[in-house]
Amino acid sequence: MLFLPLQQTFRSLQFKVQVVPRAQDNQIVGLTEDGLAVGLKTPLNRDTNRALITTLARHFGVSAQQLTLIQGFRSLEKTVAVVGVTAQELHSRLQLVA
């Protein structure tokens, strides 16, 4: 069973993401010690953050507006917040990757 460490705030769930640039496809590739590993086709540039949000929204079945990048704008290590879903819903959608 895959387990994504989540931090719950008043309005959102937050989790860490490790970006793997220049991957073959935009997709979740696994889990790291403290979050998700997400492969993105783009190199690390201004399009990376947009591609990350789009990829996560597609996988978790939420709109891109429900996801916000809150830390790591120019880094491979990022923190993302999601609103409008429960921790249980996120974990169940993550099981589809396994």
pTM metric for this prediction: 0.91
pLDDT value at position 3? Answer: 75
- The CATH superfamily of 7-94 is YggU-like (3.30.1200.10)
Q: Which residues are CB-neighbours of 22 under 8 A, at least 6 positions away?
A: 40, 41, 42, 43
Question: How many CA atoms lie less than 13 Å away from 91 in the CB half-sphere?
Answer: 9
pLDDT by residue for the chain (98 residues), tens only, comes to 467 889 999 999 999 999 999 999 999 999 888 999 999 998 888 789 999 999 999 999 999 999 999 999 999 999 999 999 999 998 888 876 54
Residue 16 φ/ψ, nearest 5 degrees: -90, 150
